[in-house]
Amino acid sequence: TALHQGAVVYAIYEGYQGMVDGGERIRPQFWDDVGSILHRGGTIIGTARCAAFRERAGRLRAAHNLLQHG
């Protein structure tokens, strides 16, 4: 896994909306965060479409937020 290989892993909560919003919706994940999710059903981090992502300005905000997190 990426964590096992020493990579920094991020979760984007609430999908595209979280990518555009940034902040606390993009969080690093550690073993304690992901160790027990396989047996749970559903989407643990949530999903959301985002009207802002359909526009160039929204995609640029999302790109900026992703770059801030490495």
59: which 2 tokens? 């995609």
- Give per-residue pLDDT as tens, 26-65: 999 999 888 888 777 667 888 988 999 999 999 999 999 9
Q: Fill in the DSSP letter of residue 33.
A: H
Q: Which pLDDT belongs to residue 39?
A: 76
9: which 2 tokens? 């892993």
Q: Tell me the mean pLDDT in the region 13-19.
A: 96
pTM of the model as a whole: 0.84
